Amino acid sequence: MSADRRPEPNPFARRGPSRRGVLGLAALTGAGLLAGCARERPSSGLTAGGGGSGSPTLTAASPSSPVRWPILEGNAPIAAGLAPEKDATLQLYNYVDYINPDVIKSFEKKYEDTGVKVVVSTFNDTNESLAKIRAGGSPYDVYFPSYDQIGKLATAGLVRPLQHAYIPNITNVWPQFTDPWYDQGWQYTVPYVTYTTGIGWRSDRVNEDIGARANPYDVFWDPQYAGRLAVLDDYREVISMAILRAGGTDINTGDDAVLGKVREDLAAMAKATRPQVTITDYIAIPEGKLDISQAWSGDMIAAQGYLPKGTDASVLRYWFPADGKGMVNNDLMMILSGGKNPVLAHLFLNHLLDDEVARENFTFVGYQPPLNSLDPSRLVADGYAPQGLAAATVLPSYFESGYRSLELTPEAEGKWQDTWTRFKAGA
């Protein structure tokens, strides 16, 4: 057998030009302003747990204070045992390239007799999507957000409570997601995928093992890599990284001293290495356009699909603290109240929690589903990732040891955004 051919086809075989990258750029042109102009439902008068006299407030969930979100009157779960909608168009609302088209096809095939068609609409970031959902007008059925939005969505009645009878496959996922702190009793959410935030690079372009440094985050401040590295275009990730590098552990802080130090450190980083601020690392690293980037684990696994012809996946590297003391997260699936096909939406959630389907989806998006049957210690052996990306595996224990980005208080949120704008302004 020739050495340059893998015995089995790589599940992440090259995909061709990325749609995510191009669409992302196109959307830069005006998405933000549109979101700003959208007529939004006034939320005044809303109160949720702890809401005082008239001024709306929002409970923030955290592992130490789990939250069971209220179910608003008139927003009850649908009855069990209903027939799926006929000739419906099921509308998904997701990030670009964040679902495998094949699992959509297999859903359409499975429910062929109902005549269902699935269409995917995409957003760039959850701020944009939230504005659009609130504006109404687009009857999205299934939405793929992060857990820091549940409070807002449930409080405003924008998300539909789940009827568990339709989702027997929930038993396939890690038990911590069937009663998570951010949604006690999984009233509104099922888990989609998990990921960590670390550092990605190509070993043939960087002559050191970044993970072997005493403090691997220091690499972003190392002038020898000036102009060759990037941080994620995400204020939570970059500021949290600076906090962790400085030895902090609270990545949801509003402490002025901590954030002041972050400001100084980020300014020093901009000066020392002029990092790009981008989320195209999953293409730029494999293509050799960037040497080192702060990276989400799933993006580095997906990067295998973007390597140039003739470059072996063994050159890809990912670092995440071996003790699990890094940033760890999971994304969700929800059913929106504005959708027209609640039964099919439930069936779709159940479809994506199916073992086979979730694995097939994994091979496309690169983000690991929290399946019981997917043994994290065997991801490399089973060919999902090369040895160099072993650290991109997400272990259930990370959700105990790792740090999670929670919803910030309004004061802290303002300080974080101020810090971010200051960094992005290059001042």
Partner 1 sequence: MSGTAPRDRRRGLLGVALTLPGAAWLAVFFLVPLYVVVSISTGTVDPVFRSVVPAWNPADWRGDQFGYVLSRLTGPDGFFGPVMVRTVVYVLLAVAGCLVVAYPVAWFVARHSGRRRGLVLALIVAPFWISYMMRMLAWVNLLADDGLVNRLLGGAGLVADPVTFLSGRPTTVVLGLVYGYVPYMILPMYAALDRISPALLEAARDLGAGRFETFRRVVLPMSVPGVLAGLVLVALPMTGDYFTNDLLSASPSTAMLGNLINTSVANPSQAGQAGALVLILVLAMAAPMLLYVRSSVRSDLAS
Q: Is 40 in the site for partner 1 (CB under 8 A)?
A: yes
Q: Is 37 in the site for partner 1 (CB under 8 A)?
A: yes
Q: Is 20 in the site for partner 1 (CB under 8 A)?
A: no
Site for partner 1 in 300-339 (CB under 8 A): none
CA atoms within 13 A on the CB side of 170: 24
Stretch that binds partner 1, among 24-32, 160-168, 246-254, 379-387 (CB under 8 A): 24-32
Angstrom CA distances, 60 to 127, 159, 335, stand at: 17, 17, 21
At position 362, the amino acid (one-letter code) is F
**Tokens (6 digits) for 36:** 């700003």
Least spacing, CB of residue 263 vs partner 1, in Å: 9
* Pick 133 or 343: Cβ nearer partner 1: 133
Taking alpha carbons only, the member of 268, 272, 267 closest to residue 226 is: 272
Longest Cα–Cα distance in the chain = 74
**Using an 8 Å Cβ cutoff, are 69 and 187 in contact?**
yes
* Pick 35 or 300: Cβ nearer partner 1: 35
Least spacing, CB of residue 25 vs partner 1, in Å: 6
Least spacing, CB of residue 110 vs partner 1, in Å: 37
Residues constituting the chain: 427
Angstrom CA distances, 115 to 89, 90, 107, 119, 367, stand at: 9, 11, 11, 13, 30
Q: Is 203 in the site for partner 1 (CB under 8 A)?
A: no
* DSSP H helical ranges for 246-290: 256-273, 281-287
Least spacing, CB of residue 186 vs partner 1, in Å: 23
Q: Does an H or E element contain 365, and which?
A: helix 355-365
Q: Is 57 in the site for partner 1 (CB under 8 A)?
A: yes
Among 15, 32, 78, 96, binds partner 1 (CB under 8 A): 32
Q: Is 268 in the site for partner 1 (CB under 8 A)?
A: no
Binding residues for partner 1 (CB under 8 A)? 25-26, 28-29, 32-33, 35-37, 40, 42-44, 46, 48, 55-58, 125, 127, 130-131, 134, 152, 155-156, 226-228, 230, 235, 270-271, 274-278, 288-289, 410, 413-414, 417, 420-427
